[in-house]
Structure 1
Amino acid sequence: MRSLIVLARLLDYPTRALQQAAPEMTAVIKEETRLSPLRRETLVGWIRRIAQGDLLDLQAEYVALFDKGRSTSLLLFEHVHGESRDRGQAMVDLLAQYREAGFELDARELPDYLPLFLEFLSTREEAEIAGQLGEIAHILARLTARLEEREADQALATATLLALIGAEDEITEHQDKVRQEKRDDTPAALDAVWEEEAVRFSATSDQDCAVQSAAGQRRAQQRQNEREQVSPVRMMDAASDRCH
């Protein structure tokens, strides 16, 4: 399902290659009959804003949204396990699932990183896609409500994932709770996090899952993209390249 690759790209760190891939992404979304005409039009509008936007501004907005605080994290297991040791085992299990399916994981990426997970799903059958998205629907709904509260375009992507499985109504169940949450991206909240003792995974988990911060991964990816000119076609076919 190529639309999942587009959604993965839209949720990832903005790059020049992403802007250049706008025409191809637009074409994929326009052909996605599983989505309503209004939702397709809304997504195309977002893609257009990315293509026409200032790249540095897009990157700064992305970092402010996803690298400050945990409530909008794109690391799925962080919403379930936080930084506990259980998250390490969950990532090991997910990594094993990827490998069993022949999906090659880049060492820079965590297994539970949502864009990566969507790339994996894009290689699976529709029934499995629906089942896997259904298992994380509660995470997607809460994340969507939080992104909507911050008026972030990325809420369009997570809401679309729920729409694909007919679970978009779940968002409303989380909106009131989200409005009552204290922001975790304020200077005071961030200072409090830094004062907490860091939880360490086991050495085996660190090695197998390449545990590192999402911000660090994106910085590494940005440097890599600057060294290599990634074509829009290769960008859209990344999932196919991973799966052997």
Structure 2
Amino acid sequence: MKILKVISLLLDYPTQVIFDAKDELAQAIAATRVISPEQRLAVQALVDELTAGDLMDAQEAYVKLFNRGRHFSLLLFEHVHGESRDRGQAMVDLMAQYENDGFAIDTKELPDYIPLYLEYLSHCDEPTARAGLADVEHLLALLAARLVEQGSPYAACFQALLQIAGFEPEVAIAEVSEQVSQEVYDDSFEALDALWEEEAVTFMSSEQTDSCGINSANAPQKQREDVAVPLHWVDFAHDATATNKV
């Protein structure tokens, strides 16, 4: 689905690609029918906000929101397993899933990085993509609720993902609202320093990484393109895998 590729790009660290592709993004958002008209407007509003100002300002706002602590972390398993060793096995399993489906990872991001996961799902058929989102519905709702509470336009991305997965965003968010209301959010540098002081956990040994077969020559590859950007924007006009999957 093209819209998953759009949301993947919007949730990744802002680059010049967003500015250069804003017309294509707008076309893809307007064309999709897997989210409601209201949700299309909300996602488009995020595109407009990101591209209306200076790129460095967008990058600074992104880092302040997503890269300070775990509250808004874009790593799926961080919300499930924290720093436990169970997270390492979950990563190995997800990497194996990517490999089995011929999706090669050639970035430095962890496999549970949400924009990467969405890019993977954008290559899947629609039922598989919807099921993949449904599997993490609670986490999508949790992040959506937290972002709504902060008044962030990024909430539109997670609300759209909930809708694609077959859930009503308002209902899903309401189900986690009590949990979110009781959370204490601290994005101070002192709190960030405290996180860094926690004991580091090695999730995967080099042998485990090798066994996952990343970039394996034996598997049919859907190699991620354009290494110049963090999550590699593929021109819709040349993306055969996304044809008629909006």
Given the two structures, how large is their TM-score scaled by the length of structure 2? 0.83
More divergent stretch after superposition (179-188 vs 16-25): 179-188
Q: Distance in 2 between matches of 1:21 and 1:91?
A: 31
Q: Distance in 1 between matches of 2:237 and 2:91?
A: 25
Sequence identity percentage: 45
- For residues 191-230 of structure 1, what are the structure 2 equivalents within 5 Å? 191-204=193-206, 207-208=209-210, 224-225=228-229
- 1:34 partner letter: V
The alignment's C-alpha RMSD in Å is 2.5
Q: For residue 192 of structure 1, report the CA deviation from its aligned partner.
A: 2.2
Q: Kindly provide the CA deviation profile for residues 55-104 of structure 1, in whole angstroms up to 9, marking residues without a partner as x.
A: 11100000001110111111101111112211111111111111111111
> Structure 1 runs of 4+ off > 6 angstroms?
none
Q: Is the 8 A contact 2:94 2:111 kept in 1?
A: yes
Q: Please give the secondary structure, in 1, of the residue aligned with 2:73.
A: coil
Q: Please give the secondary structure, in 1, of the residue aligned with 2:76.
A: coil
- For residues 88-237 of structure 1, what are the structure 2 equivalents within 5 Å? 88-167=88-167, 168=169, 169-204=171-206, 207-208=209-210, 224-225=228-229, 233=235, 237=239
Q: Is the 8 A contact 1:183 1:189 kept in 2?
A: no
- 2:16 partner letter: R
Q: Distance in 2 between matches of 1:156 and 1:172?
A: 15
Q: Distance in 2 between matches of 1:86 and 1:231?
A: 32
Q: Distance in 2 between matches of 1:155 and 1:107?
A: 25
- Normalized per residue, the structure richer in helix is 1
Alignment correspondent of 1:21: 21
Q: Distance in 2 between matches of 1:239 and 1:79?
A: 31
Cα 1:114–1:69 change in 2 (3 A) is same
Q: Kindly provide the CA deviation profile for residues 129-181 of structure 1, in whole angstroms up to 9, marking residues without a partner as x.
A: 12111110000000111111222211110110001123122111112321221
Q: Distance in 2 between matches of 1:42 and 1:153?
A: 8
Q: For residue 201 of structure 1, report the CA deviation from its aligned partner.
A: 2.7
Q: Kindly provide the CA deviation profile for residues 102-132 of structure 1, in whole angstroms up to 9, marking residues without a partner as x.
A: 1111141211111111111111111111211
Cα 1:237–1:147 change in 2 (3 A) is farther
Structure 2: tracts of 5 or more residues without a match: 213-226
Cα 1:232–1:201 change in 2 (3 A) is closer
Q: Distance in 1 between matches of 2:29 and 2:178?
A: 31
Q: For residue 238 of structure 1, report the CA deviation from its aligned partner.
A: 11
Given the two structures, how large is their TM-score scaled by the length of structure 1? 0.83
Q: Is the 8 A contact 2:130 2:166 kept in 1?
A: no
Cα 1:189–1:235 change in 2 (3 A) is farther
Cα 1:154–1:191 change in 2 (3 A) is same
Cα 1:31–1:163 change in 2 (3 A) is same
Cα 1:74–1:9 change in 2 (3 A) is same
